[in-house]
């Protein structure tokens, strides 16, 4: 049985990633087969047109997918690959990546993630969709 990914362990793993600290990411929740990662939108995370940079959206999806996969496989996982579709420009105050496991074996998990932004009136709008494979290391 893999080690359970607790919110404390997830926060510790995220804190050990310098890029995650640079972006200001945090784990909002993690459970069996699910994970939610959040990033406060700041000016330095925007591209030239004032939208959240695609690299930030991609980062959030990648990490949420990996935490969701790790919640069923254990903490020693890596992203084996993922694809992302940008659905609309991202503008808001909070970026939220919600991921869940679609199917898993003992060594791999196929996961899906919706990336959304929250506006000033707390309306949530999906801006990207991602799917990936998370693999057990070793």
Per-residue pLDDT tens over the stretch 72-121: 999 999 999 999 999 999 999 999 999 999 999 999 999 999 999 999 88
pLDDT score of 3 more than 80: no
Is the CB of residue 65 less than 8 Å from the CB of residue 79?
Answer: yes
Residue that the structure tokens 């925007």 belong to: 46
- Whole-angstrom Cα distance, residue 64 to residue 36? 6
Q: What band does 5 get if pLDDT is binned at 50, 70 and 90?
A: confident
- Whole-angstrom Cα distance, residue 90 to residue 100? 21
In CATH, 7-136 is 3.20.20.70: no
Q: What band does 58 get if pLDDT is binned at 50, 70 and 90?
A: very high
Kindly state the tokens that stand for 45. Answer: 């995370």
Rg (CA), the chain: 14
């Amino acid at each position: 049985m893999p080690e359970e990914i607790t919110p404390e362990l997830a926060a510790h793993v995220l804190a050990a990633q310098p890029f995650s600290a640079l972006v200001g990411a945090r784990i909002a929740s993690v459970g069996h087969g699910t994970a939610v990662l959040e990033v406060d939108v700041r000016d330095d995370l925007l591209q030239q047109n004032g939208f959240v940079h695609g690299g930030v959206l991609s980062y959030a999806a990648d990490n949420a997918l990996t935490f969701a996969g790790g919640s069923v496989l254990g903490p020693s996982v890596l992203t084996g690959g993922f694809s992302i579709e940008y659905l609309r420009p991202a503008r808001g105050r909070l970026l939220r990546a919600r991921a869940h496991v679609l199917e898993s074996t003992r060594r791999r998990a196929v996961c899906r993630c919706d990336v959304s932004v929250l506006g000033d009136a707390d309306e949530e709008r999906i801006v990207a969709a991602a799917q990936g494979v998370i693999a057990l290391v070793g």
